[in-house]
Structure 1
Amino acid sequence: MLSTLELTQGGRPRAFQRLGGRFLLSWQVDLARDLGCSRIVCLADGESEQLDEVREQVEGFGLDFQMVRGPLPLVGLLTADQELVVIADGLVADRELVRELMGQGRGVVALPDDVGIEAGFERIDASHAWGGIIVTRANIAQQLADMPPDSDTISLLLRLALQAGTRLIPLDEEALESGDWLLVRERAALAQREETLLDRSVEQVSWSAPGLALSRRLARALAPDGLERGGTIAMVLGALGLVGAIASASYDYAFPAVASFLAGSFAFASGEALAGLKSRLRGTGGAASRARLLHNLLDLALLAVLTLPATAYNALERVFLPLMLIGLLRLAATLAPARGENAWRDRTSVAFVLLVSAWFGSLEQTMAALCVATLGFCLFFRRKSQITLA
Structure 2
Amino acid sequence: MNTALLSARKRTGTGELRALTSMLGEPALAWQVAIAKKFGCERIICLCDAPIPEIIELQRKFEGQGGEFHAIRSSLQLVALLRSDDALLMIQDGLIVEPDLAKSVLVDDGKLRKAILTLEVGSELTEASPADFERIDATRCWAGIATMRAAHLQQLADLPSDGDVFSLSLRLALQSRTGMIPLHLDVEPEADWLLASDAASISLREKSLLDRALPAPRWTAPFPAIASKLVGMAAKQGYLNVAPASAVIAGILAIAAIAIVALGYAAIGLSVASLAALFGCFYINASLTKSAIWGEGQADVFHRYFRILLDSLAIISLVLALKFDPIALASLPIFTVGLFWLAERNASPRVAPFWNDRTLHLATLAICAAYGVLSEGLALLGLLALVQSLWRVTKASD
| TM-score normalised by structure 1 residue count | 0.92
Alignment correspondent of 2:41 = 37
Aligned residues: CA RMSD: 2.3
Structure 1 distance, partners of 2:155, 2:185, is 32
Alignment correspondent of 1:111 = 119
The residue identity in structure 1 corresponding to 2:364 is: V
Structure 1 distance, partners of 2:367, 2:185, is 56
Shift of 1:348: 0.7
Which of 209, 222, 234 aligns to 1:222? It is: 234
Structure 1 distance, partners of 2:197, 2:122, is 17
Q: Are the structure 2 counterparts of residues 13 and 337 from structure 1 closer, same or farther at C-alpha, using a change threshold of 3 Å?
A: same
Q: Does 1:335 align with 2:376?
A: no
Q: Comparing 107-116 with 238-247, which one deviates more in the overlay?
A: 238-247
Structure 2 distance, partners of 1:149, 1:247, is 69
- Could you tell me whether the CA contact under 8 Å between 2:215 and 2:289 is conserved in 1? yes
The residue identity in structure 1 corresponding to 2:103 is: R
Q: Are the structure 2 counterparts of residues 176 and 163 from structure 1 closer, same or farther at C-alpha, using a change threshold of 3 Å?
A: farther
- Could you tell me whether the CA contact under 8 Å between 1:335 and 1:383 is conserved in 2? no
Three-state SS of the structure 2 residue aligned to 1:308 is helix
Q: Deviations over 1:45-96 (max 9, x none)?
A: 1211100111123123321111111111111212222111100001111111
The residue identity in structure 2 corresponding to 1:117 is: T
Q: Does 1:128 align with 2:126?
A: no
Structure 2 distance, partners of 1:51, 1:355, is 50
The residue identity in structure 2 corresponding to 1:7 is: K
- Could you tell me whether the CA contact under 8 Å between 1:298 and 1:347 is conserved in 2? no
Which of 67, 78, 85 aligns to 1:74? It is: 78
Q: Comparing 125-134 with 185-194, which one deviates more in the overlay?
A: 185-194
Identity percentage over the alignment?
Answer: 32
Q: Does 1:183 align with 2:192?
A: no
- Could you tell me whether the CA contact under 8 Å between 1:257 and 1:305 is conserved in 2? yes
Q: Does 1:212 align with 2:212?
A: no
- Could you tell me whether the CA contact under 8 Å between 2:85 and 2:149 is conserved in 1? yes
Q: Deviations over 1:110-162 (max 9, x none)?
A: 00011142131111111111001011111101111111221211111100111
Alignment correspondent of 1:7 = 10
Three-state SS of the structure 1 residue aligned to 2:14 is coil
Shift of 1:180: 0.7
Structure 1 distance, partners of 2:293, 2:73, is 31
Three-state SS of the structure 1 residue aligned to 2:236 is coil
Shift of 1:357: 1.2
- Could you tell me whether the CA contact under 8 Å between 1:265 and 1:298 is conserved in 2? yes
| TM-score normalised by structure 2 residue count | 0.90
How many residue pairs get aligned? The number is: 385
Structure 1 distance, partners of 2:181, 2:106, is 8
Which of 371, 374, 378 aligns to 1:367? It is: 378
- Could you tell me whether the CA contact under 8 Å between 2:95 and 2:195 is conserved in 1? yes
Shift of 1:100: 0.8
- Could you tell me whether the CA contact under 8 Å between 1:176 and 1:182 is conserved in 2? no
Shift of 1:316: 5.2
Shift of 1:268: 1.9
Which of 298, 308, 312 aligns to 2:320? It is: 308
Shift of 1:175: 6.2
Alignment correspondent of 2:186 = 174
Q: Are the structure 2 counterparts of residues 236 and 88 from structure 1 closer, same or farther at C-alpha, using a change threshold of 3 Å?
A: same
Shift of 1:315: 8.9
Q: Does 1:27 align with 2:36?
A: no
Shift of 1:219: 1.6
Q: Deviations over 1:14-63 (max 9, x none)?
A: 11111111111111111111212111110111211100111123123321
Three-state SS of the structure 2 residue aligned to 1:89 is coil
* Unaligned 5+ runs, structure 2: none
* Unaligned 5+ runs, structure 1: none
Alignment correspondent of 2:60 = 56
Alignment correspondent of 1:199 = 211
- Could you tell me whether the CA contact under 8 Å between 1:6 and 1:14 is conserved in 2? yes
Q: Comparing 345-354 with 313-322, which one deviates more in the overlay?
A: 313-322
The residue identity in structure 2 corresponding to 1:371 is: G
Which of 95, 101, 112 aligns to 1:97? It is: 101
- Could you tell me whether the CA contact under 8 Å between 2:266 and 2:321 is conserved in 1? no
Q: Does 1:345 align with 2:356?
A: yes
Structure 2 distance, partners of 1:158, 1:83, is 14
- Could you tell me whether the CA contact under 8 Å between 2:329 and 2:375 is conserved in 1? no
Shift of 1:210: 1.4
Alignment correspondent of 2:259 = 247
Alignment correspondent of 2:164 = 152
- Could you tell me whether the CA contact under 8 Å between 1:333 and 1:342 is conserved in 2? yes
Three-state SS of the structure 2 residue aligned to 1:42 is strand
Shift of 1:323: 0.7
Structure 1 distance, partners of 2:47, 2:330, is 64
Structure 1 distance, partners of 2:86, 2:340, is 55
